[in-house]
Amino acid sequence: MYRIAVIPGDGIGTEVVPEGVRCLLAAADAFGFSLDLVEFDFASAAYWEKHGTMLPSDWQPTLEPFDAIFFGAVGWPSVVPDHVSLWGSLLQFRRVFDQYVNLRPCRLLPGVRSPLADRSPGEIDFVVVRENTEGEYSSIGGRIFEGTDRETVLQETVMTRHGVDRVLRFAFEYASRRDARHLTSATKSNGISITMPYWDERVAAMAADYPSVETDKYHIDALAANFVLHPERFDVVVASNLFGDILSDLGPACTGTLGIAPSANINPERRFPSLFEPVHGSAPDIAGQGIANPIGQIWCGAMMLEHLGEEAAAAAVLGAIESALSEERDALTPDLGGTGTTRSLGAAIAGRLAD
């Protein structure tokens, strides 16, 4: 029995989360475990409109006892500016629950059209390990001489040995358990001349502990280019908060899966609940139409099950996604070239799990 906090959030989050839940329940049924799901309405624009905050003051003790958080999407800029809604919810969760690893798989799936020429499933299969609590996403800084010609705005990037080493250790451990055992570090030490040379030093120090992992590094500009030119080169890519953010959108874009990629915000020590959310956002442009692709959310369910130790169930969910993609063309949502709906695709995947 696992206790799961369910937070649909905004926009298509509220449409895809029920399909994610449906598949989780089907997997629980098939594999003989049970889920205690509790839904929350905070971390949404609707909550903000009612309360003037994104979260209740007791959100932390409320969520902390859960084994995991199953999250949809947050952000509705016509009601609340993004930096307010994000810093008031998702970015709080990541920090306060010390989810210092953001794990994002990039995989070419069968039946999904890649924007890259001549690539086939199996050829692209890597994971971005993003630092998730510090780095470029700090709230230290401010403005001086405001409103004048001398106006100057500062923001500090903060890297700590504690913060850098723990995400690197996770990435090296993770890479050492994969077949390719290859780790690429994203840097920019030729231009960002203080924090990034430090990042490189820590990578070199950590690499010495993992002689079985082949390690290389690319500057972020060249790395972004190589995601397009040579995606087959990558296995595990470790990056700072900002670089990881960019790479984990670019990677799924290259595999044509931006709308369906999952992500896991993990506290590896399990002192706090980890959070699972699709890479896509609330998508105001298609929200309310019932056509959002639920695969990202369902794939998040698979990552959550793996994190909880239900590996067989996790693999079954991923298998159900892959087989639905290649065999249930009618159920697919419009973004995949189908005529189905969020629900029909969710039902198709859940159906395969029940079999």
Instruction: Supply the minimum distance, in Å, between the C-beta of residue 83 and ligand IPM.
Output: 8
Q: How far is CA 116 from CA 138, 170, 252, in A?
A: 35, 30, 11
Tokens 């105001």 -> residue: 284
Binder of ligand IPM out of 81, 191, 197, 309 (CB under 6 A) = 191
Radius of gyration of the chain from Cα atoms? Answer: 20
* Residue 36 tokens, joined: 């205690």
Q: Does residue number 221 form part of the binding site for ligand IPM (CB under 6 A)?
A: yes
Question: Burial level of 67, CB count in 10 A (0-12/13-18/19+)?
Answer: middle
Q: Does residue number 157 form part of the binding site for a copy of itself (CB under 8 A)?
A: yes
Interstrand relation of 125-131 and 101-107 (parallel, antiparallel or unpaired): antiparallel
Binder of a copy of itself out of 38, 205, 225, 315 (CB under 8 A) = 225
Site for a copy of itself in 249-268 (CB under 8 A): 249-250, 252-254, 258
Site for ligand IPM in 47-106 (CB under 6 A): 86
Build a one-symbol-per-residue string for 151-190: x at contacts with ligand IPM by CB under 6 A, - elsewhere: ---------------------------------------x
Q: Does residue number 23 form part of the binding site for a copy of itself (CB under 8 A)?
A: no
Build a one-symbol-per-residue string for 265-304: x at contacts with ligand IPM by CB under 6 A, - elsewhere: ----------------------------------------
Q: Does residue number 141 form part of the binding site for a copy of itself (CB under 8 A)?
A: yes
Q: Which is nearer to a copy of itself, 149 or 355 (CB)?
A: 149
Q: Does residue number 228 form part of the binding site for a copy of itself (CB under 8 A)?
A: yes
Instruction: Supply the minimum distance, in Å, between the C-beta of residue 287 and a copy of itself.
Output: 16
DSSP 8-state code for residue 294: -
Q: Which is nearer to a copy of itself, 86 or 302 (CB)?
A: 86
Residue 275 phi/psi, 5° resolution? -125, 135
The alpha carbon torsion through 107, 113, 115, 118 (nearest 10 deg) reads: 80
Q: Does residue number 79 form part of the binding site for a copy of itself (CB under 8 A)?
A: no
Question: Between vectors from CA 167 to CA 67 and to CA 163, what angle results, nearest 5°?
Answer: 100
Other C-beta atoms within 10 Å of 251: how many? 26
**Which H or E run contains 73?**
strand 68-73
Residue 31 phi/psi, 5° resolution? -110, 5
Residue 158 interface partner, choices a copy of itself, ligand IPM, none, CB cut-off 5-8 Å depending on type: a copy of itself
Q: Which of 226, 227, 250, 238 is nearest to 202 (CA)?
A: 238
Q: How far is CA 177 from CA 80, 173, 222, in A?
A: 42, 7, 27
Kindly list the residues in this chain that would bind a copy of itself in the complex (CB under 8 A): 75, 81-83, 86-87, 91, 114-118, 136-137, 139, 141-143, 148-162, 188-198, 220-222, 224-226, 228-229, 241-242, 245-246, 248-250, 252-254, 258
Q: Which residues here bind ligand IPM, judged by CB under 6 A?
A: 86, 190-191, 221, 245
